[in-house]
Amino acid sequence: MLVDLSGRTAIVTGSTVGIGFAIAKGFAGSGAKVVVNGPASSR
């Protein structure tokens, strides 16, 4: 599904890995500014 989110801001919590990360990438790919939140990676 193509959605134009230009000019919108999305806040995604738990977005450093897994489904949260995929959702954040999807929002960004649709043109939204994305604020991510999650634990720092220990890798």
Where are the domains positioned within the chain?
1-43
**Paired tokens of 1:** 């599904």
What does pTM read for this prediction? 0.79
DSSP secondary structure of 2-31 = ----TT-EEEEES-SSHHHHHHHHHHHHTT
Q: Mapping DSSP to helix (H, G, I), strand (E, B) and coil, where does residue 26 land?
A: helix
- pLDDT given at position 24: 92
Chain segment 19-35, per-residue pLDDT in tens: 989 999 999 999 999 99
- pLDDT given at position 17: 81
Question: Is residue 4's pLDDT more than 70?
Answer: yes
